[in-house]
Chains A and B, each alone.
Chain A
Amino acid sequence: MAITLARTAATKPTRDAYGEAIVEVARDNPRVVALTGDLRDSNRLEAFAAEYPDRFFECGIAEQNMVGVAAGLATCGKIPFVSSFAAFSPGRCYDQIRVLVAQTGLNVKLVSTHGGLTVGEDGMSAQAVEELAMMRSLARMTVIVPADAVETAQVIRAVAEHVGPVYVRLGRVGVPVLFDDSYRFSIGKAPVLRDGSDVTLAACGIMVAEALEAARLLEAEGISARVLNVSTLKPLDVTAILAAARETGAIVTAEEHTIYGGLGGAVCEMVAAHHPVGVERVGVQDRFGESGPPRPLMEAYGLTAGEIAAAARRAVSRKRAP
Chain B
Amino acid sequence: MNREVDLGALRSRAHAFRKTILKIITRAGSGHPGGSLSVIDLLTALYFHQLRHDPRNPAWPDRDRVALSKGHACPAWYVVLAECGYFDPAHLWTMRRMGSILQGHPDMARTPGVEISTGSLGLGFSAAIGMALAGKRDGRPYRVYAVLGDGECQEGSVWEGAMFAAHYGLDNLTAIVDRNGIQQTGRTEERIRLDPLADKWRAFNWDVQEIDGHEMGAIISALDRAAAAAGRPHAIVARTIKGKGVSFLEGVAGYHGKALTEDELARALAELDRGPRG
Contact = CB atoms under 8 A, between A and B. Distances in A.
A64 B132 CA distance: 17
Contact-residue bracket for chain A: 20 to 34
Interface residues of B, number: 34
A54 B139 CA distance: 12
Interface in B65-114: 65, 67, 107-109
Interface stretch (A18-26, A66-74, A149-157, A225-233): A66-74
B37 to A, nearest CB: 25
Interface of A: 54-55, 57, 59-60, 62, 64-65, 67-78, 80, 95-96, 99-100, 103-105
5 contacts: A70-B130, A72-B132, A80-B130, A99-B120, A100-B116
A71 B115 contact: no
Interface in B118-136: 118-120, 122-135
A78 B127 contact: no
A72 B123 contact: no
Contacts of B115: 75
Given A96-B126, A103-B117, A72 B160 contact: no
B50 interface: no
Nearest 8 Cβ contacts at the A-B interface: A72-B130, A68-B126, A62-B160, A76-B134, A65-B160, A64-B157, A69-B130, A72-B127
Contacts of B157: 62, 64-65, 68, 96
A78 B116 CA distance: 15
B196 interface: no
Contacts of B116: 71-72, 75, 100, 104
B135 A76 contact: yes
Contacts of A69: 126-127, 129-130, 133, 161, 164
Given A65-B164, A72-B129, A75-B108, 13 more contacts: A60-B164, A65-B157, A65-B160, A67-B126, A68-B157, A69-B161, A72-B67, A72-B127, A72-B131, A72-B134, A76-B130, A80-B130, A100-B116
B164 A59 contact: yes
A100 B129 contact: no
Contact of B126 (A65, A74, A105): A65
